[in-house]
Amino acid sequence: MKKTFKTVLILFLSLHSCNEPETTVTDIVRMDGSIERRIEMRGVNAKFNIPDVQVPYDSTWSIRDSLEINKNGDTIRVRRAVKNFSNAEELNNYYSSDSSLNKSTVRRVEFRKKFRWFDTHYNFSEIVEKRINHGYPVASFMPDDELKWFYLPEAEKTRLLIGPDSLRYKVLDDSVKSHQEIWMWRSLISEWINTFNKLTEGKGIKGNTKEKEAILYSMVRDNMNDFDSLWSQGVILKKLTGEKEAIEFKEEADSAMRVIEDLLGQRFSNYSVRIVMPGKQVSSNSMLKDSTGFPLWQVKSEFFLTEPYIMKAESIVYNIWAWLITATFIILFAGAIIFPVKKQKPAI
């Protein structure tokens, strides 16, 4: 049976729910733009083979294996891998030859620094490119408090859901899940309509595509259990295009669905990213910090479904030499004003 919106979305959710081995990537950024990347992988039955891990590494890395006891008393396998990259471009080139489990996901880093005499500002970003082109920003479907909860790491959510304010957070969690489902459906439908129109050179769906999108979403919402049957019978397509076009473009409609299936069917396994900046860290867009105060992000497929997921941090390094030069100049200048050099009178 051909897949429809319901089955494609279920496929997407099922393929993006694993996070084994539990992986944390640490990018240690230096003032010259070089990056030391550390990958820590851990799990009871974890496999550390390259096709099974979330972030690429190879035999050129410094690798150390160990056994540890976790808080539940289980013996877990741990692998730590370290490699130095001379700059962001070298790390991006390494990403381009990715052979890990998440190789279908486009990832890159950016590094910038700005000299300001008394200090130098450093910016570093880890970016995961969006998966579909015609979806909607999740912020369009959630208020700020829900958006913060959406991006909050799962461990932190669990802690709050069993804490003293559990009832409040349970209501918030339910609301986020409801709005998240609407956002996913609307984005998936928008992507299908744009793909279908492209395959039919714009002849398939005539009129206001936003109105058609709303009609299709209503049909999905109101006929969830019967949607596959209605699709296979052509009822859905007739509602969107008209009876003649539904027959003429049936194959294109199914092809558009297969395109989306290929996009969403790419496997992805979650992991975390930590960024350590040079000097004093002044800002980041992270919702969480680790035990040492460095920003920590969770990378999940929902975060980059419809827009790039950007993890960024900024730091500042004070240029002591600039302060010393400036202070010396001020002292000399002030001294020249206060104690001017007297000119000697010529001898008579």
Pairing relationship of beta strands 119-128 and 107-115 according to DSSP bridges: antiparallel
Tell which wins on pLDDT, 348 or 35.
35
Calculate ∠ Cα 25-31-32, nearest 5°.
100
Backbone angles phi, psi at 110, to 5 degrees: -135, 140
Whether 131 contacts 304, CB under 8 Å: yes
User: Rounded mean pLDDT of the chain?
Assistant: 86
Which candidate, 52, 155, 59, 123, places its Cα nearest to that of 284? 123
Which candidate, 250, 232, 247, places its Cα nearest to that of 196? 250
Q: Above 80 in pLDDT, residue 158?
A: yes
* Residue 268: pLDDT band with limits 50, 70, 90: confident
The string of pLDDT tens digits covering residues 114-140 is 998 888 999 999 999 999 999 999 999
Q: What is the SS3 assignment for 182?
A: helix
The full set of domain ranges for the chain reads 20-131+271-320, 133-265
Instruction: Specify which residues 124 forms β-bridges with.
Output: 111, 313
Backbone angles phi, psi at 191, to 5 degrees: -65, -40
The string of pLDDT tens digits covering residues 164-213 is 999 999 999 999 999 998 999 899 899 988 888 888 886 767 767 778 88
Residues 6+ apart with CB under 8 A from 81: 38, 39, 41, 57, 61, 62, 63, 64
Bond into 21 cis (ω within 30): yes
Q: Using CB atoms within 10 A of its CB, is residue 210 exposed (0-12), middle (13-18) or buried (19+)?
A: exposed
**DSSP H or E run through 137:** none
The string of pLDDT tens digits covering residues 76-101 is 899 999 999 999 999 999 999 888 88
Query: Computed over its alpha carbons, how large is the radius of gyration of the chain?
Result: 28
